[in-house]
Chain A
Amino acid sequence: MKHETIETNVGWLIVLTLIVISIGGLVEIVPLYFIDDTIETVQVDGKDTIRPYTSLELRGRDIYQREGCYTCHSQMIRPFRDEDMRYGHYSLAAESQFDHPFQWGSKRTGPDLARVGKKYSNEWHVQHMMNPRDVVPQSIMPGYPWLMQSLHYKDVADRMRALKMVGVPYSETQAEFDANVERYGKDVADKLNINSAMDNLISQAQAGNYDGNKNDITEMDALVAYLQVLGTMVDFSKFDEGHFAEFR
């Protein structure tokens, strides 16, 4: 095909340009789907320890996205010494395998949150959300006092179904439930059951009482439950130091 034919025909020009620029993406992304080690296997006693979010944590994650937390906070600790010392063990690909969309990010106005779980008390998180300056005087984070409103959770099962369609292993049928029992153990499989999503959400919120208010299930309950689980699913003391380097 002659240079002139392409340049004088908009249709050809568009199609061929798209093909050329997609090559860069294709050669970098497609092979990762075929390479065994892309997502690390993280198992203790034969069970996966990285699980999808429970119904309450999932609602917390929705709120995290609604409020745009990701515009200032990343959730990806890179394998550098300074990040290891400040935030903890580098993030594994497996740790965001159930995130749709992932929360990696390359801009940090606030600190990285990939391992913020269990670092602070629930009370600290609640105070910090209400007015960050109460606990960190130099903070420039805005307050989110409206999170104390009641949580809307009637549609949580539908939200889980939507994620199931893109591959998150929530269970609806008995066969799927059995597969989860095999993969995660009974306790975790119960939490991933769509049929009892609402009951699970209510009991986790009441047992955890994340917002310090027992009378109501609030958005704060959900958000704090989500923050407290971030980065806590892998017990790195169970693995050799170089174990996860072997996947790269």
Chain B
Amino acid sequence: MSKDKTQQTVQTTGHAWDGDLQEFNNPLPSWWLWAFYATVIFAIVYWVLYPTWPVGNTYTKGVGNDITYTTTDGKEVTSHWNTRSLLLKDLADARAEQAKYVEQLKAASYSDIAKDEEKSAFAYSMAKVLFADNCAACHQAGGNGVIGPYPNLLDDAWLWGGTFEKIEETIRNGHVGNMPGFKGQLSAREIDNLAEYVLSLSGQGSDATKAQKGKPLFSSNCAVCHGQDAKGQILMGSANLTDSIWTIVNVPAAATPEAKRAAIVNLLKTGKSRQMPAWKDRLSDTEIKILTFYVHELGGGQ
């Protein structure tokens, strides 16, 4: 019934396939048609306002929506609309928003920041983000590091110094720490004795005679960097061997005295080279300052 009705009221395209297959030719709904015209008008307005049409070796730049932003050195720049200038404006706006805190931090000394609650709160929250993005890949999200390549920042042992100035210098310029291997220079027995002496320095030794034999070897080979007192030297980033903090080999985790000695023997043979990258080209002075403050706070800075 309804089929008959349709055939009477709706036009067909006029052609038929397989004898009786026909195609309706319904007019477009008027709301759709008007929406379509609206998009055409929108496009024309868009062409005028935004960069669109190629003309030879350049293009129309759009009118009426220039972007003005202030650069870091205070210059005012106006440009036709484009996403890069839009970004620069976004950055400039954010800078202006943060300026009142950042300027304060820039001018403040480290001890000022530590004393002032508002300043240290801002520095702390900003540093957390910076740390996560730049430092956490090696020193881990919490700053606990990885024994072997990446020192723990939470303890109060500092290879390159734990004062604000020293930490800042480390972040800014990076460091290459090099513990040489002694494989060719010392015999296996000598290395074994030396390892026993190193263990005895932090009270973990188990064989006093061996340690006694290792002592002169320490003076002639190790003291150059680690010092005669084995407390390490900040200038060379050499570790303090008299405390129970180990950054390259995990001595405390070794269960038996033999395993402890084996871990050190291995290091003495092969040596270890570590690198802290320099950040001065990636981070701004203020960012480095904030990170220094954060790292200092993390681990009992000096």
Interface residues of A (CB under 8 A from B): 3-4, 31-32, 34-37, 79-81, 84, 86, 88, 90, 118-124, 127, 134-138, 237, 240-242, 244-248
Contacts and interface: CB of A to CB of B under 8 A. Distances in A.
Contacts of A37: 58
B77 interface: yes
A241 B84 contact: no
Contacts of A88: 282
B202 interface: no
Interface of B: 13, 15, 51, 54, 56-59, 69, 71-73, 77, 79, 82-88, 90-91, 94, 133-134, 137-138, 140-141, 146, 149-150, 274-277, 281-282
Given A79-B84, A136-B137, A241-B72, A119 B282 contact: yes
A135 B83 contact: no
Given A79-B87, A137-B140, A240-B71, A245 B79 contact: yes
Contacts of A245: 79, 82, 84-85, 88
B137 A124 contact: yes
A222 B140 CA distance: 26
Contacts, number: 87
A247 to B, nearest CB: 8
B84 A135 contact: no
Given A3-B13, A35-B54, A124 B85 contact: no
A35 B71 contact: no
A124 B138 contact: yes
Given A81-B94, A124-B138, A137-B140, A244 B277 contact: no
A245 B79 CA distance: 8
Contact of B275 (A121, A134, A136): A121
A123 B15 CA distance: 74
Contacts of B57: 34-36
Contact of A31 (B59, B91, B134, B276): B59
Nearest to A139: B137
A248 B84 contact: yes
B146 A134 contact: yes
5 contacts: A31-B54, A90-B84, A119-B134, A120-B137, A127-B149
Contact of A84 (B58, B59, B91, B141): B91
Given A119-B277, A244-B84, 19 more contacts: A4-B15, A35-B54, A35-B59, A79-B84, A80-B90, A81-B90, A81-B91, A90-B84, A118-B277, A119-B282, A120-B138, A123-B275, A124-B149, A137-B140, A241-B71, A241-B72, A242-B71, A248-B84, A248-B85
Contacts of A36: 57-58
Contacts of A118: 277
Contact of A34 (B56, B90, B146, B274): B56
A209 B56 CA distance: 49
Nearest to B136: A136
A131 to B, nearest CB: 12
